[in-house]
Structure 1
Amino acid sequence: MVNTTTLSPPMECPEQGAPRSSRLQPVAGPSDTGSSNAMPGTGRTLRTRLRWRRGRQASAVPRLYQATDAAGDGLWDWDMASGAVWYSPRWQTMLGFTPGEVPPHVEFWRSRVHPEDLPLVESVLAAHLSGERPVYECEHRVRTKSGAWLWILDRGRVVTWDEERRPFRMIGTHVDITARKRIEEELAESRLQLDAILDNAPVGVLLVDRDRVIRRVNQSVAATFQHRLEDMVGCSARVIYGDDRVFEELGRRAYPYMQAGGQFDEEVVMRRADGADIRCRLIGRSVKAGDSDRGYVWVVEDVTVRWRAEQALNDRAGFQRVLLDTVPVPIFVQDVMGHYVDANSAFERWMGIDRQALFGRTVFDLAPPHIAEADEAVDKALLADQKPQSYETQLRCADGTLRDVLFSKAVYCRTGGKPAGIVGAVMDISERKHAEQALLERQQLFEQIFVASCAVKLLVDPADGRIVDANPAAAEFYGYPLDRLRSMHVQDINAAPRSVVERDLHHAGSAGQRHFQFRHRLASGEVRDVEVYISNIVVHGRTMLMSLVHDITERCLAADALRRKTRELERSNAELEAFAYVASHDLRQPLRVITSYLTLLERGLGKSLDEEARECIDFARDGAQRMDRLIVDLLEYSRVGRKAKPFRPVPLEEPLRLALLNLEVAVQDAGATVTVDMAGDGAPPMTAGDGVAPAVAGDDNELMRLFQNLIGNAVKYRAPGRPPIVRVAMAADRQDGAAVWRIDIRDNGIGIAAEDRERVFGIFQRLHRRDEYEGTGVGLAVCKKIVEHHGGRLWVDDPPADEADDLRDEDGRPCGSLFRMVLPALDAQGETGGEAPSPP
């Protein structure tokens, strides 16, 4: 309520306990007022009736206040002009005051309203006074006498207006709604708690109606099935099932059972939004048994990981069973009481007893008493300290032989660390014992060989280079007495600088290098080239270098002579290649002259030439042209590896596509079909299995000629009446540990006989007459030279038997030829995986 100075307060009426009327009354109706035209005596009757009505109203007001108090509601009557307020006794006791203790003014009420609620109260009251609202009604908090806060439903209405139609008097009630507010807060808190539980539950929760329509769902369900919450609400539960039959069948079984008060619990295959099937555990109950209108609650738990783990566990158990039976070492399992509970096949064979018959027995049933007692004592100690134990003993196996064995035992525990039993393995070490004896004998033999061998041997300490031992052959080679040599250091006999010798000793001691080449100085002062092969041996716990020294002086001299001869040959070959190139190039000029003059001769003689003369001219021209092609092919053959550009990383796709572009006309004329499968995936450009595109280090022009010659031959040497089909396939492979690209070029042509597959790569080698197929017999020789120049290999192989129908002849047999080559592959750093020569 707001105070306004335009209103005057009503006067209290202590005698009646209620306020009396002010000087203004509610506006009277026409029946309450006199008229100047009224008949005599009528005015007195109307005044009597008015007084009677006012008296009746005055007597009814106290009864109304008493009834309101009896109902437990407070009543207030506000004179808005003066701010005086009459508060009913119940209004005062509601706030903890005794009747008459409350000041009769509106400011008292204002001071009791909660400061946070006062702006709202004033705005609602102002809206009523301005006529925007027909009544004043507001819920707010009021401070009691004890300082506590009550929630009040405050209602009121202006009942009297002055002559200027301004509000004059307002009456209202106070209703204590604290209990209702507390219930609402508890309900709101319960709702928030329920929402929090649902939103944070680790499992999914759905509420569906009797028609299996989703009415509520938590975030876990949306995350499990990858749907949005808002999209799931209102949808049929079918959206989370992968199969209609599963949806319908589960509905037939689950809902009648839940309707009867049961709890349904089952694992079902369901489906996520991305189409992936998942395995879920469904737990469902009716909200109220027998009342399907209340709906059903489903708990959904994604158990895909657990299910897969169980499957993996079962697989692992089977794998472990197979593994145990595959292991050749006898293995057994005992419980804490010493009873055998399991064993593998090797143990069965060793003991000559079936594992089923072994179950429940103890070591006393299998071994002599003295061995069984010793074994039992070891097992008790093992169970006590739970530390794995290994010990050697002798055991008689099923064939009756007594063998040396090594028992290895360990305790396996249940969850919580309590011992569950013992796992033991029996290893036959009879051979090891024999090997140890043989090793001792070999050690003695080694010492004798070290001394008696004619090879030069030194035993060197890598820490300081001291020669710990040497054999007589070393003393003879170096020219020092044996005692003197054993007191020297390798630095005394090595002609290299001391720092280099110490570095090499370090490399040899750390097993970083095994082979060295030095120059050693003999006692006579002569320096000899030697190869030293070093191996680490342990002598009394110390690592020593066993050095085997070979005198390679003569070999080094021969190698120097060979290098000089090689350089001379390289120079001579270069001159020969240059000569062949120049000679071949100059040979083409006379051929062009011959061809030109033959043309002039034919043109000049014209029609005077008879048929025989023209045939002679044609033979001469054809011979000149064939000679020119031979020279051109010879030039191309000589250029391979000689005029090559420096090698660079070349994606095989580039020269292959350029070759196909050059052969486009020939392919179309022949009606051929050429397909390319890069790295086995069907379409270039693609990558191999390790993510590296097919690439080599090489010359792109030479690689283009390689593909052009091989594919062109496949198109040219086609079988009559059969459209050519050429298939190029590239795939990653490994040869001798190096990464390579394997390239197959397969066709359905006339093929190459097995006895001719090596000969076709020779220069000027032809398998057909010139009137059958054109060519000079140089193309395949060029291809082989290009492949070898790139560090690869090219050959002709048998067509595979599992060919497609279009690569078979009329009899259903594989036809055509298969050219195969391998080229060193480039890795991600642009380096070749194998040894590939670099261009000169």
Structure 2
Amino acid sequence: IDQAAEMVFYHDLEGHIIEANQAVIKSLGYSKEELQTMNIMDIDPSAREREDMSHRWKVIKPGDPAITFEAVHRKKDGSIYPVEVTISKVVLPEGEFILGLARDIRERKQAEEKLKVSEMRFRLLAEVAPVGIVIADKDDNVVFVSKKFTEIFGYTIDDIPTIEDWYRCAYPNEPVRDRIRTIWSAAVEEARRTQAEIEPVEYAVVCKDGGIRQIEFRMAATTDLQFVLFTDITERKRIQEALELAVNSAQVGLWEQDLRTGKIIRNEEWAKMLGYDLSEVAANIDFFFDAIHPDDLPRVKETIAAHESGQTDFLQVEQRMRTKNGAWKWILNMGRVVERDINGKPVRAAGVHLDITEHKQTEEQIRIDEERLESLLRINQHPAESIQELLDFALNEAIDLTGSKIGYIYFYDEERKEFTLNSWSRDVMKECSVANPQRVYQLEKTGVWGEAVRQRRPIMVNDFEAKNPLKKGTPKGHVQLHKFLTIPVFSDSKIVAVVGVANKETDYNDSDIRQLNLMMDAVWKIVQRKQAEDALKTNFSLLKLAGETAKFGGWSIDLTENRVVWSDEVAAIHEMPAGHSPTISEVFRYYVPKWQAKILKAFNRCVEEGIAYDEEVEIITAKGKRLWVRTTGEALIDDSGKIVKIQGSFQDITERKQMEANLKASEEQLRQTQKMEALGQLASGIAHDFNNILSIILGHASLLKMSQRTPEKVQHSIATIEKAGQRGADLVKQLLTLARKNEPETKSLNLGDIIADTVKLLQETFPKTITFQTDIESDLPLVMADASQIHQVLMNLSLNARDAMPKGGTLSFNASREAGQELRQRHPNAIAREYVKLCISDSGVGMDKATVERVFEPFYTTKEQGRGTGLGLATVHGIIRNHNGFVEVESEPAAGTTFRIYLPVPVTQETLDATTAENGAATPTSASGSETILLIEDEESIIEMLTTIFRTQGYQVIVAMDGHTGVEKYKQSQNDIDLVISDMGLPRLTGEEVFYRIRRINPEARVIIASGFVDPDRKSELYKAGLTRFVQKPYFPMDILKVVREILDESPEASKENS
């Protein structure tokens, strides 16, 4: 007993456990000792809920039948499980005891529960099933009738308690009933024997209301039960009959199959639908199956098998079939089993084929079009923060639309022929293991995916593994490609991107190309719109920031409404509140009076003629502040050509004007410092040269006083004096060229002439121990430059060279051409096609590398204190840079130094010709005249010379020896005076004061001022006030006669323009 599999125990009549076997101990988890201290109710809590067990234990008699009941046992861990307990009373020497056997019935209980659930599920399914269900036992008693059965026939289980009652109700005609009973009984026996479902059969059934319905029967049987399913096919039969009628008048393919032999009969239309003659079509099922698309074949076979086995009432399947020429057509195959044998097994089936290719294509196109439109709607509504994010989202939509797995978008630059990656699909990035994947590709290095650009059309590859000469392979770790489609994206006629998708389950086709093209064209318009919106936002923000920072705004005047609009920045410049809208007259009152006429004239020309303007003028703000502003204006024209609005910009340039003035003053001060330094270094040479000149003049003047001089010797002395005077004048002119304080004046220059002038001055002033060499290339092109500044450059370099040769040496000047292409190798900013190269070389002490590297730094000098400012070479560098040129230096200790200067040659000669024409002067054919000239001069020798010259040529001359007298004589004879020639440095009134007073007397008076030097700013103001001409002293008689004749021959207006 102790080793028995079942739990065995016994206890006294009070329930105290006396003994338990190993099965009890193992099942409950208590030790035997623990159990012997327990009551049976401790392990059977359900005992307390039943009747008093202790009473039962006492009334049972030994030898009574055992009592069996279900209970639960509680294990030591607290868990409980069901048991079946059998007890009886036994008598032992110690007394009467209860002997019990307990069996664990957990598995039985679980099985019972599953059965209950299964039965419940069956009933639920039976109640909602679309077919009627009847279950009968082995004695043909009906045990279950579903709700649908009653709905179909009207009979309840009370009407047909047995199968025989069913026969009687459903088939009131006795011969028919007998025949069906025989067939059905045999089918039931066969089903029970084989445990298989019988083939579906169709019968007409009489319903409870007397109506007749066409029913398909299916049945399965077990040893004890038979299950019958009733499908109402009345409506389907009606439709089939109507379809058969329609087939007779429609072009449909007909087929009929003997299901026993597989032989198929088809009509001509069936064959014609696939491009065959009927004689070419094999009369078997294999021909049909061979023509079906491999992807559709399993589904078609499954559908046919389901119908033939009775699972469906009707065969209907859409399938792709291969035509004779290899194309695919969509065919709707409809049919049914039309005959079954006595066992209900299908014998014959018939149906039709309908060509639905166009319908499917239209249907698919509509579906894809709808998907594309939905995708575009999602893309358009996607809250993308950037173009990158928008295109990432669009790429995933394109992948979904084409049924692909992966994809990419590359931007393309047609000019650079370069692809730049924008987006790879997420799946690609998951699978890609390429180390350092490339993001930029050149077109020439791309494989088949670059063909979309090279051929400018979509490229479709449905077998990517196949060999293709256009493929160039993929890097290690690249996602494997099976099928591939890429398209170019156009903006106008320009390719701006390429989009690719890959690894569609089926082949890509023209529909995929069309959908992808339409989608990406629309996406690109969305991208362009977003780019424009982003740019507009950015530009607006930048414009506002720039306007606030640069004090720059805009304005407009609507001429139809006379309405003025100022931007906030314009209002701020005028020190008016934002949003202020002034009247037109108020706008012009802000301008300083002296500028009002100029700005009104420009505005009116814009209004009347549409001529834009750009002026820098002064305004006085609402709070009285005086500002320099730059204002522009342009006309807007409507469709009829009428000017309707003037708009423009307005900028406070006061700070710029002040900075320009300060910079100008600083630059001029630097240049003047350098000029004065150079003049200082030349002083001793200049003094020596002037003394020589004066010695020549004085010596020959003394010779002229000697009475014994012959006419030939007199003329020789006069010629020598003139030559010495010319030499002195040239020296003064060169010094003035170097020292003059004037505005930079860019004009065409022959650098060979500049070099010659410089060398001439240096030869007069440098020690005789220094020799000069020049090598000027013939036909050297002209350059656009300021002569004074180039003189200064050559002088600074020459003075440095002189100091580097204290014991004498050679100073060389060379000028030649240099190709811009060659110069660009050293100076990438050299954009001119050709340059003139000036080389200034000395044979002096040279410089080491450290000195060369710092030679152009301001204030850097190697000379002892007091012998240089350190600004000479810095000035040279600045001047050449301002001329868009370059400076190079080459030097070694004890090997001399060479400076190379490169100045750009204008692209065409027209610039130089125009400049030369402006600077040139026409030479009159005759210098004589009869007009009256007022000469105001305090030097008697000059008065004598000029009066003699003018009167010799026929002119009338009125002389005044101071400024005041000159003005008075002009008042007296202004109607007779045709021209005034005045010196600048006069007693009583200066030449400048004389000019202004004469112009007040006669605003049309023509006045020449002569002087050795006039400040450029003063000269400019005089010209603006109407000065006719400025003449540089000293001058020669023929020069002054030419100028006088030239002015007198011009009209007053022409004289103003030439000034």
TM-score by length of 2: 0.26
Q: Report the structure number with the largest CA radius of gyration.
A: 2
Compare relative contact order (CA 8 Å, sep 6+) and give the higher one, 1 or 2. 1
TM-score by length of 1: 0.33
